[in-house]
Amino acid sequence: MRRTFLIGAVTAGVLCALTPPVSASPVSVSGSSNVVRPDDRRLAYEGHWGRTATSATTVNSGSRLRLRFTGGTLRALFDVSSITVPAQIYVSVDGGPKRLYAVDRDDLDIALPGRGTHTAEISVKDVFSRANRWTPPLETGVVLTGLRLDEGARLLPQHLPPGPRLAFYGDSVTQGVMALCEVNTSDCADGTAAYPTLVADDLHASLTQVGFGRQGVLQTGNGGVPAAGDACGWNYADSRADSDRRADVIVVNQGTNDTAYGTEEFRAAYRAYLDRLRSAAPHARILALRPFNGAHADDIATVVRELADPHAEFVDTTGWISPEDGDFNGTVHPNAQGHRKVADRLASLIKSKEH
């Protein structure tokens, strides 16, 4: 199912099986002779994307796609046939300001400042956590089916950022829920305003940002998402995640939603989760964060200490943000100010160990 809507002019991996994308040349779609397949190697994806020759699908806020191309127009094609709660995305062209769109139609016509060589970034602001985003047919998510260029225009190679490769795994806090205001809606959520994206941008790093609302290491997430250990290694149900075994840093922020579980049960599940991440990325540095509300803080610290992994550490976030300083929307979710404070601390911590 493909329909059309227009965007006005823009003014001024994954850790838990590796399936490399297939190189592809433009192919004919919807009557155009210059449509680029979503698995083309010249596209630079960041985050969890299930990629085939016909679609690239992400259910995670903060996922990104960067591209470089020639010509005077760019159209991004989507499949929204099963979508009931549209995802929200930002589009930025040539480093210009981000413009917000709901992916509720099948064809985004991105007007450019003129002909020439351009860059574009599509970043996922929010995939609503309470709609089905795990078991196809998905009710929310971004399903990219291609990119249509001008006749005679070319897609050019685009590379990932030069900095470290970062992966963040967590719950609604990592997703950016309620980062902008105090209502649990896509309008109030913004994965690009959350600390993972901010840290990656500060360090010029490539980013994998996986946050699922309500999820814990034992607690299942909203939208049909399994608990963290069962979700590890999957983009969504039956779509294995490409494993980035070269990840430099993995940040884990889990435990907030596991308060109903006792110490022994939580420690066993948390230990098993860290073991899975370590097995997938043997050389990565793992930062196990104390949840910002302090849930299971002692248990997390104990698990990390007992693992005796020289490249894993417990990060005590006590005092990083607080309600008294106006760093939250509601009682659990940091606002944009709170996320900025967390990002500053984490970026400094990561940089301090690079040398």
Enumerate residues 6+ apart whose C-beta is below 8 A from 24. Answer: 36, 37, 39, 40, 41, 53
Residues 6+ apart with CB under 8 A from 262: none
The pLDDT score that the predictor gives to residue 246 is 75
Supply the CATH number for residue 15's domain: 2.60.120.260
| CA distances for 190 relative to 24, 129, 203, 222, 279, angstroms | 32, 12, 20, 17, 31
Do 194 and 342 fall into the same domain?
A: yes
16 with 120, same domain: the answer is yes
Does the CA dihedral 212-265-278-353 come out positive or negative?
positive
Full domain range(s) for residue 249: 165-352
Show which of 94, 122, 156 is a domain's final residue. Answer: 156
Residues 115 and 170 in one domain: no
Q: What is the pTM of this model?
A: 0.91
CB atoms within 10 A of CB 115: 12
Based on the fold, state whether residues 40 and 187 are members of the same structural domain: no
Please state the domain count of the chain: 2
Whether 189 and 328 map to the same domain: the answer is: yes
User: Same domain, yes or no, for 26 and 89?
Assistant: yes
Nearest to 232 by CA among 275, 283, 198: 275
Per-residue pLDDT of 175-223, as tens digits, reads 999 999 999 999 999 999 999 999 999 999 999 999 999 999 999 999 9
The set of residues, in sequence order, having a beta carbon less than 8 Å from that of 18 and lying 6+ positions away, is 242, 243, 245
- End-of-domain residue from the set 133, 156, 179: 156
Side chain identity at residue 205, one-letter code: A
Domain boundary, last residue among 97, 129, 156: 156
Tell me the pLDDT tens digit for each residue of 127-174. Answer: 999 999 999 999 999 999 999 999 999 999 999 999 999 999 999 999
Alpha-carbon distance of 329 to 253, in angstroms, equals 18
Specify whether 141 is located in the same domain as 183.
no
Separation in Å, CA 299 to CA 38, 266, 276: 43, 8, 18
Co-location of 149 and 298 in the same domain: no
Same domain for 152 and 172, yes or no, is no
- 241 DSSP assignment: P
Q: What is the DSSP letter of 41?
A: T
pLDDT of residue 242: 78
Residues 263 and 178: their CA atoms lie apart, in Å, by 29
Same domain membership, residue 238 and residue 123: no
pLDDT of residue 206: 96
133 and 224 housed in the same domain: no
Helix (H) or strand (E) holding 336: helix 336-352
DSSP code string of 243-279 = P-TT-SEEEEE--TT-TTS-HHHHHHHHHHHHHHHHH
pLDDT at 144: 98
Contact 96, 175 (CB under 8 A): no
CATH of the domain at 204: 3.40.50.1110
Beta strand ranges found along 63-203 (DSSP E)? 64-78, 88-93, 99-102, 107-126, 142-149, 155-156, 165-170
ω into residue 291 within 30 of 0, thus cis? no
CA distance readout (Å), 64 to 45, 224, 248? 6, 23, 19
C-beta separation of 227 from 188 below 8 A: no
* Pair 142, 226 in one domain: no
pLDDT at 245: 67
Q: Report mean pLDDT in 10-residue bins for the chain, 355 residues.
A: 33 38 36 84 97 97 98 97 98 95 94 92 98 98 97 95 96 98 98 98 97 98 98 95 80 98 98 96 96 98 98 98 97 98 98 74
